[in-house]
Amino acid sequence: MPESTRTAPDLAGAAPGLFDMATPRGRLLRIAARLFGEKGFAGTTVRDIAAGLGIQSGSLFHHFRSKEDILFAVMEMVVEAINRDLAEAVAAAPDTAGRVRALIAVELHYLHGPASDATSVLFHEWRALPKARRSVLMNGRAAYFDLWQTVLAEARAAGLTPIEPEILRQLLHGALAWTSFWYRPGGALTPEALVERALALALKDEGRAS
Amino acid sequence: MPESTRTAPDLAGAAPGLFDMATPRGRLLRIAARLFGEKGFAGTTVRDIAAGLGIQSGSLFHHFRSKEDILFAVMEMVVEAINRDLAEAVAAAPDTAGRVRALIAVELHYLHGPASDATSVLFHEWRALPKARRSVLMNGRAAYFDLWQTVLAEARAAGLTPIEPEILRQLLHGALAWTSFWYRPGGALTPEALVERALALALKDEGRAS
Amino acid sequence: MPESTRTAPDLAGAAPGLFDMATPRGRLLRIAARLFGEKGFAGTTVRDIAAGLGIQSGSLFHHFRSKEDILFAVMEMVVEAINRDLAEAVAAAPDTAGRVRALIAVELHYLHGPASDATSVLFHEWRALPKARRSVLMNGRAAYFDLWQTVLAEARAAGLTPIEPEILRQLLHGALAWTSFWYRPGGALTPEALVERALALALKDEGRAS
Amino acid sequence: MPESTRTAPDLAGAAPGLFDMATPRGRLLRIAARLFGEKGFAGTTVRDIAAGLGIQSGSLFHHFRSKEDILFAVMEMVVEAINRDLAEAVAAAPDTAGRVRALIAVELHYLHGPASDATSVLFHEWRALPKARRSVLMNGRAAYFDLWQTVLAEARAAGLTPIEPEILRQLLHGALAWTSFWYRPGGALTPEALVERALALALKDEGRAS
DNA sequence: AATGAATGAGGGTTCATTCAT
DNA sequence: CATGAATGAACCCTCATTCAT
């Protein structure tokens, strides 16, 4: 188990309000994120979303011009929030390994904390977007990818991994993104422990598992 | 780069005929796998598949009772083939690290070799199946998961990784499955090199990257 | 010919609005009943029904979840209405023979009056319903069958017929239901006269034909 | 109960081979009649019929040019057979009441004896035929209707019924045809007893029920 | 903003029928 | 005669979207 000084940033408090539940728009996005996450974008109908809000399906279109716009808005919110949190967490970390752990912790926190629905959607439903909008999103994620790559390059320079930063980033991203299919917090494996396992995967001699 | 003696099993020749192109059924599955891989199951219409075969959409239903049956058949074929190849490759490997490499190599071969379409579908479209059929598939994959877990337990016992076998299996599965979104053979990174990177991720002191 | 004092209840005015023509739903049911009666349930397409309403076929499904639901709704309305009218007519009849005549008159009125389309459908298209729904309908008709049987038992006790009530009920029901294939009001045989013929069939020494 | 001297013609032996089971065509018609009777013409597919014969659906069309032709052939066979039997039975009857009983007995025998499937189809599926073919069939039934009408006119002249022959014929036809929906031989009510009940319906002072 | 009836294109599927083998 | 793959039209139904109220 990680010692307290190496503990990942607290997972509970972050992204407490990815969506503003005080506004109809925020509530709509929250419901949509949940449904897209559960049943997929294609498997979710606008009627499902409307029913979740207690309104008629036609009324959705006063808030968004299309179902796809809803998906895009969900993704955009995650992109912005994750960018912000990631930068903060990395800045606060004391050393290279801490920065890698921070990246992993933030990503897992998004995948399994209060923003899990929306983050799942961002990670697993991007193929539902037309190419044009995908690239808009990719632009938004550029800073995020840069940050990962910078930190991983630093780690490699420090001899913590033999793998090229870009490849390692992709492999880790897959490993983390996939956790949304098998990991659920609340079981025997705590989120913090999962962070350590992923860190052990990323870096040699880090993250002792058990 | 891996030395020739440690080279992964040749990736080019395996699974040359996942589908029997001599039969209408085999051709249908091949086209369907490609389309499901490109546009997703929901995004592919039976008319798309029929057009790919040069027949009318109604004619599909002489070969399969439903679109879902086609998806299931595609997945089943991959499951069977991958089970077979995996067992063979592991049996032929000389030592623990070799067995882990064999697992990775076979999985990546399926993801990026001649069966890449079908394998992508298996890995990424399982949510399109009703729960009942998902579990049928999971039964078919039990041997596959067992094999992974056995080998990874062996690796951990040998001190090659600190991560619990089940967790490591899931993390690696995600890392590998995700490659279908970013990796394409034929570029600077050869399939064999990718195997070594994944191996370096899995095991300490293995798979020197560069 | 029946004397005026024995005349069956007036056939023209009853059930003026089996379907509420003020609502889209009521208009839909009316058209559907007519088409099902003319071409059978299987021979009627949802496009036929929609065309009869001047809307698109997809719009039907805002009112009913399936074509079968439309059929069921048509039948249900007849069952309820006929139950009500039958009970009223029997209650108003002065004696046993009058009660039998009331039963026949109401049944024929439904078969050839304003509700003729829907009643034909109820009598002749029940095989188009799945068994489960058939029995729901049968439950709804229990009161109706009971009434017939009670009155016919009374008639037999009075020596008006030698036939067991249940058998007589079935035979009469067939005789009356079948009239929808050969009888049309407006010809030489008035509805009232037809009632007397059916009564003569049911009871000895009643309903002098000519 | 009828005395033995008034017993209806034996029901067991007639129409033993409405269809010639020695020929493929005969077997096909037998299967088709059964399926049309059970599930209706519209509810029966040519594949159902073919499956019943153990052949492929395409092969049906070597015997009949269309599904409708099969229906028509089934009906034609019944019409011919029933015409023949009816004429014979009426000729053999000693008196007016005996002739009415013969008509009823033959009709019920067709509806519930070995030819029950085909007869049900003739009586209940005529709406599945296009008008043109319906009238061909009606021509074939003219002799049959004439016979009924002649006998019923005789009965009326003898004071056995007050109802006009044509109307009585239609009412009785309905009563008898409808038995295929509720009566099954083998129960408490024997076919012979059912004949007597129908006779009691048709004629005053005949057919004592119990 | 919300309604709810309507749209209209498209979806998966069925099925009688054809025809080369 | 039988096959079985294919046809092609039609079927019931879904669903994102529109719009008058």
Q: Give per-10-residue mean pLDDT for chain D (210 aa).
A: 37 57 91 95 95 94 96 96 93 96 97 96 94 93 94 96 97 98 96 97 66
Q: Which residue, counting CA atoms, is nearest to the C1' of nucleotide E6?
A: C59
A106, A86 Cβ separation under 8 angstroms:
yes
Please give the domain boundaries of chain B with CATH numbers for all domains. 7-202 (1.10.357.10)
DSSP A62-131: GT-SSHHHHHHHHHHHHHHHHHHHHHHHHHH-SSHHHHHHHHHHHHHHHHHSTTHHHHHHHHH-GGGS-H
Smallest CA–CA distance from C178 into chain D, residue: D174
Q: Do B167 and A204 touch (CB under 8 A)?
A: no
pLDDT digits (tens, 9 = 90+) for B67-120: 999 999 999 999 999 999 999 999 999 999 999 999 999 999 999 999 999 999
Per-residue pLDDT at D63: 95
Q: What integer pLDDT is reported at residue D10 of this predicted model?
A: 42
Distance CA(C34)–CA(C53), nearest Å, equals 12
pLDDT of A15 higher than 50:
no
Q: Give the nearest partner residue to B178 out of A161, A178, A194, using CB atoms.
A: A178
Mean of the pLDDT values across residues A100-112? 97
Residues of chain D with Cβ-Cβ distance to C200 below 8 Å are 161-163
pLDDT over threshold 60, residue B12: no
User: What secondary structure, in 3-state letters, does chain D show?
Assistant: CCCHHHCCCCCCCCCCCCCCCCCHHHHHHHHHHHHHHHHCCCCCCHHHHHHHHCCCHHHHHHCCCCHHHHHHHHHHHHHHHHHHHHHHHHHHCCCHHHHHHHHHHHHHHHHHCCCHHHHHHHHHCHHHCCHHHHHHHHHHHHHHHHHHHHHHHHHHHCCCCCCCHHHHHHHHHHHHHHHHHHCCCCCCCCHHHHHHHHHHHHCCCCCCCC
Pick the closest to residue C81 from C101, C102, C107, C104 (CA basis): C107
Q: What number is the average pLDDT over the span A90-106?
A: 96
| Burial of C152 from C-beta contacts in 10 A (0-12 / 13-18 / 19+) | buried
Choose between A207 and B160: higher pLDDT.
Answer: B160
Mean pLDDT of successive 10-residue segments in chain C (210 residues)? 37 55 88 94 95 93 95 95 94 96 97 95 93 93 94 96 97 97 96 97 67
* CA gap D24, D46 in Å, rounded: 15
Note the pLDDT of residue C8: 41
Retrieve residue C27's tokens.
């208009």
Contacts of C27 (CB under 8 A, 6+ apart): C19, C21, C53
Report pLDDT for C129. Answer: 93
At D187, which amino acid appears? G
Closest residue on chain C to D42 (Cα)? C42
DSSP per-residue string spanning chain C: ---GGGPPPPSSSSSTTSS-TTSHHHHHHHHHHHHHHHH-TTT--HHHHHHHHTS-GGGGGGT-SSHHHHHHHHHHHHHHHHHHHHHHHHHH-SSHHHHHHHHHHHHHHHHHSTTHHHHHHHHH-GGGS-HHHHHHHHHHHHHHHHHHHHHHHHHHHTTS--S-HHHHHHHHHHHHHHHHHH--TTSSS-HHHHHHHHHHHHSTT-S---
The residue that minimises its CA distance to C1' of F10 is: C45
Least confident interval from B37-41, B129-133, C15-19, C91-95: C15-19
- pLDDT for the residue numbered A206: 55
In angstroms, how far is E11 C1' from B44 CA?
11
Q: What share of chain B is helix, strand, coil (3-state, %, to 5)?
A: 70, 0, 30
Strand E closer than 7 Å to the CB of C149? no
> In this prediction, what percent of chain A has a pLDDT beyond 70?
90
What local confidence, expressed as pLDDT, does residue B209 receive? 42
Measured CA to CA, the distance from residue B32 to residue B121 in angstroms comes to 10
Output phi, psi for A55, to 5 deg: -125, 180
Report the distance separating Cα A119 and Cα A124, nearest Å.
Answer: 8
Residues in chain B within 8 Å Cβ distance of A164: 197, 209-210
Two tokens, residue B144:
């596959």
Comparing A55 with C24, the larger pLDDT belongs to A55
Closest-lying nucleotide for D42 based on CA to C1': E15
Which residues from chain A sit within 8 angstroms of residue B174, using beta carbons? 174-179, 181
Q: In this predicted model, what pLDDT tens digit does every residue of B161-196 receive, in sequence order? A: 999 999 999 999 999 999 999 999 999 999 999 999
What are B146's two structure tokens? 């067992």
C-alpha–C-alpha distance, residues C48 and C32, integer Å: 9
Query: Per mean pLDDT, which range of A88-92, B20-24, C141-145 is the poorest?
Result: B20-24
Q: How confident is the model at residue A11 (pLDDT cuts 50, 70, 90)?
A: very low
Mark yes or no for CB contact D164/C210 under 8 Å. Answer: yes
Question: For the residues of C5-52, what is the DSSP string, one character each?
Answer: GGPPPPSSSSSTTSS-TTSHHHHHHHHHHHHHHHH-TTT--HHHHHHH
CB contact under 8 A, A171 and B204: no
The whole model's pTM is what?
Answer: 0.87
Q: Which residues of B touch A204 (CB under 8 A)?
A: 204-205
Q: How confident is the model at residue B9 (pLDDT cuts 50, 70, 90)?
A: very low
Is C200 in contact with D162 (Cβ distance < 8 A)? yes
Which one-letter DSSP state was computed for residue B43? T
The whole-number pLDDT of residue D198 equals 97
- Give the angle D47-D50-D54 at the CA atoms, nearest 5°: 130
Is residue B47's beta carbon less than 7 angstroms from any atom in nucleic acid strand E?
Answer: yes
The answer to whether the CB atoms of D175 and C179 lie below 8 A apart is: no
The pLDDT value recorded for residue D206 is 55
Token pair for residue D99?
């002739």
The conformation of residue A204, written as its DSSP 8-state character, comes to T
Interface of D with C (CB under 8 A): 40, 42-43, 127-128, 161-164, 167-168, 170-179, 181-183, 189, 194, 197-198, 200-202, 204-205, 207-210
A13 to chain B nearest CA, in Å?
25
